[in-house]
Amino acid sequence: MTYEDVKRISDARFSNWKSFSQKLIDNGLSSALKAHPGSPKRDVPDEIKLNEDSEVKITMVGTGGAGWVIGRYNELRGSGGFAIEYGDERNKIQIYVDPGKNYSRDAPNYIDVNSIDGIICTHIHPDHAAELVSALQDASLNAKRRGGKFLALNKTALTGAGDAKGTPTDKFHTKLLMGETYLMTGRDQDEVENEVENTPYSWFDGIKNEIEYEKNGLEIKLKATKSCHQETGASNPEDVFGFILETDNGTRVGYTSDTRVWEKEIGQKIDTERRTITFEKGEAPEKLIHRDDIISQYKDLNVLIANPAAFTPAVYDGKIIDHDNNHMRVDGVVDFAKKSGAEVVTFREIAAENYRIGPEARKVLGEFGHKDFIDFGIAYLEEFLPNTKIAVLNDGGRIVA
């Protein structure tokens, strides 16, 4: 495809988002949903097996993102997070990641929520943390086994930032019933410790870049990776973290969480146009900074779980298409997948604008043979990642690796 073709599709996606938002404001939710019907459930397997003998299972409880999905119009995809299990039904470690909106509704349908051994919350946005307390209750008060577990939260979730006061966790649930509570970070531990030493949250059990966890002869290692994603106006965007989970049998799963790949300034000098910056004449991409430091953390993976906000690229054919200074696009997924060598790539956060399509966007997509922007994104990823399996799963879908 030419730059002009891809730019036209990307512009249609942004116009689709604006059209839905305007109808929602002018005429209410039912009118907006009627004008932007969702794509049908994707015709994909409920389970993808990379290795018949593997003991690692990833269950995508909720694959929806924030925005349209997080409100009352989330019947197509929830945003309840995902579980990673290692072992078998008689003896396993189960880690739950980012229990967002709809965790309580959806997780019991797909996993045993009372067998959670560890909970990871990468940041406090509602599609990642809205039902953290419910997950804590399942892992502690309702658990088959109390104690000896862990909770790993990012800095903002524990200590707050600006108007954000942290998540409503408490010492009772996190220390007495779970076990250990850690502030997890991909940043320098000493630097983070200096920032939190005077906060009232001194009861947590340390600041960690890595966590090793053992249960009945099974072992996993979690290594935090640095991400860059603005949580609140006062937070450091690099307090958001991703991770690499490695089992003692050598399986490696990477999760990017929400992160940018291209940005206008590094660190906290964030471009104030948070949503989208469009360069009408396709100016040279050196106007943006490419976060190689984030991408290079991911190596030798079996599975990559990525969070692109849009299934269109930020940069194409050496020119800027559509830049979001808070999330990656599908070209960022390509960067992560190539660096990590992942056998399969799947997605935790799919914004509804990618599959709830109005008539104008549907017409543009139809000219190129696509029913929605997910279809376009899959075609893009398959072109640039010919040896990688692209798995856009429905809620409840699993990868066995």
* Contact yes or no for 15/23 (Cβ under 8 A): no
Tell whether the torsion through CA atoms of 19, 21, 27 and 30 is positive or negative: positive
Closest CA relative to residue 82, chosen from 225, 207, 256 = 256
Domain assignments of the chain as residue spans, ordered by start: 3-400
DSSP classification of residue 218: E
pLDDT at 25: 79
pLDDT at 167: 55
| CATH class of the domain whose range is 3-400 | alpha beta
DSSP classification of residue 181: E
pLDDT at 92: 95
Taking only the tens of pLDDT, the chain with its 401 residues reads 999 999 999 999 989 888 887 887 788 777 887 888 877 777 888 889 988 778 999 999 999 886 544 455 556 788 899 999 999 989 999 999 999 988 999 999 999 999 999 999 999 998 999 899 899 889 887 777 777 899 999 988 887 665 555 555 656 666 666 788 899 999 999 999 888 876 665 567 889 999 999 999 999 999 999 999 988 777 889 999 999 999 999 999 999 999 999 876 444 343 433 333 334 444 444 467 788 999 999 999 999 999 998 999 998 887 888 777 789 999 999 999 999 999 999 999 888 888 889 999 999 999 999 999 999 999 999 999 999 999 999 999 999 99
pLDDT at 317: 86
DSSP 70-99: GSS--SS----EEEEEEE-SSSEEEEEE--
The structure tokens 């030798």 sit at: 300
Q: What is the pTM of this model?
A: 0.91
- Beta pairing, strands 397-400 & 47-49: parallel
Q: HSE (CB half, 13 Å, CA atoms) of 49?
A: 5
Distances (CA, A) of 19 to 16, 35, 321, 356, 382: 5, 9, 20, 11, 29
pLDDT at 269: 40
Based on its alpha-carbon atoms, the radius of gyration of the chain, rounded to whole angstroms, reads: 20
Residue 292 zone, left/alpha/beta (φ > 0; ψ -120 to 50; rest): alpha
Sheet holding 303-306, edge to edge: 210-215, 218-226, 241-247, 252-255, 303-306, 344-347, 389-391
**How many helices (DSSP H) and strands (DSSP E) are in the chain?**
12, 20
DSSP classification of residue 303: E
pLDDT at 301: 98
Helix %, strand %, coil % for the chain, to 5? 30, 25, 45
